[in-house]
């Protein structure tokens, strides 16, 4: 372990404070700290922080760079008429041919809900007592059934669940203990998002102890990095063409909404966003 070289490297990014307590550590702790730091791309982390803070201070906002999309790319449930059923059938046909999957962002803990377990395990107080994961699983099952009823095709909707270091194990155990809520085990794919070092407002990496960097999940934007070759290859192997992405605490989510999927197919859209107008 060459701590002197490591200190020089850290100093280049103003992070040499990570070694402030190295002399207080025993040999095992020193090794753990050394590996923790050297396995972290300090340069990249600092760059992320600078990019984020500079964009916050910039007078030019992202909204200023965006332009409205053409009006013919919009659709409305209330104003679509007969097209709504056409879109739905198109979406159901995609489901029936196993071209649709759902991707759940479930890396967050239930801290703000006042619980110590993943949010998807939370019982929101419905008369049924069903947790969020169960509600979503049953909607997948019902959509598969509905697609078969309408198209005669028995398609499968794979469920990709992005967890984090904190939620991966309890989530997998929860699903196993509930027999995967009636879904096939092989159609539920768990994968972890990455962790990023926590930063102070001054741009300093925070330590959780004298020998360990404090880390947190890298947010929903970390999805793209987490979708490594293994996950993308699995989607390709299954023939998935359309992906519905949603967050775990969206209790009203319409899983792989066939009408919306059909609408996006009709527009040849690479991506789409569905919103509710509360006016």
Closest CA to 263 of 94, 109, 143: 94
Measure Cα distances from 214 to 19, 34, 62 in Å: 14, 14, 30
Q: How many residues does the chain have?
A: 279
* Rounded Cα distance, 245 and 103, in Å: 5
Residue 180: domain span: 68-267
pLDDT at 62: 66
Q: Is residue 38 part of a domain?
A: no
Q: Is residue 72 part of a domain?
A: yes
pLDDT at 111: 67
Domains in the chain, number: 1
Helix, strand or coil, per DSSP, at residue 191: strand
Residues of the chain with pLDDT under 70: 56-62, 109-111, 279
Closest CA to 203 of 21, 52, 8, 4: 52
pLDDT at 51: 87
pLDDT at 86: 94
Q: Is residue 20 part of a domain?
A: no
Q: Is residue 274 part of a domain?
A: no
Q: Is residue 31 part of a domain?
A: no
pTM: 0.83
* Rounded Cα distance, 94 and 211, in Å: 51
pLDDT at 82: 87
Structure tokens at 203: 């741009």
Q: Is residue 127 part of a domain?
A: yes
Pair type for strands 188-192 and 195-197: unpaired
pLDDT at 16: 94
CATH of the domain at 150: 3.90.550.10
Q: Is residue 213 part of a domain?
A: yes
pLDDT at 218: 79
């Amino acid at each position: 372990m060459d701590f002197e070289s490591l200190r020089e490297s850290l100093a280049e990014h103003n992070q040499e404070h990570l070694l402030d307590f190295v002399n207080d550590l025993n040999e095992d702790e020193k090794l753990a700290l050394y590996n923790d730091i050297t396995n972290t791309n300090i340069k990249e982390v600092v760059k992320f922080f600078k990019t984020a803070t500079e964009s916050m201070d910039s007078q030019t906002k992202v909204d200023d760079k965006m332009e409205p999309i053409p009006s013919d790319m919009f659709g409305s449930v209330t104003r679509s008429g007969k097209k709504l059923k056409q879109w739905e059938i198109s979406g159901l046909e995609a489901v029936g041919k196993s071209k649709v999957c759902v991707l759940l962002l479930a890396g967050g803990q239930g801290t703000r809900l006042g619980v110590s377990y993943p949010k998807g395990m939370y019982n929101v107080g419905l008369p049924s007592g069903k947790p969020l994961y169960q509600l979503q699983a049953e909607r997948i099952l019902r959509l598969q059934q509905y697609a078969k009823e309408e198209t005669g095709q028995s398609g499968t909707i794979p469920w990709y669940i992005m967890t984090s270091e904190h939620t991966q194990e309890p989530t997998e155990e929860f699903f196993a203990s509930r027999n995967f809520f009636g879904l096939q085990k092989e159609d539920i794919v768990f994968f972890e998002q990455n962790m990023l070092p926590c930063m102070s407002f001054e741009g300093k990496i925070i330590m959780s102890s004298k020998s360990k960097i404090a880390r947190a999940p890298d947010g929903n934007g970390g999805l793209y990095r987490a979708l490594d070759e293994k996950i993308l290859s699995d989607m390709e192997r299954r023939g998935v063409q359309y992906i519905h992405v949603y967050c775990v605490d969206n209790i009203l989510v319409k899983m792989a909404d066939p009408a919306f999927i059909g609408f996006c197919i009709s527009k040849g859209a690479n991506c789409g966003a569905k919103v509710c107008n509360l006016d």
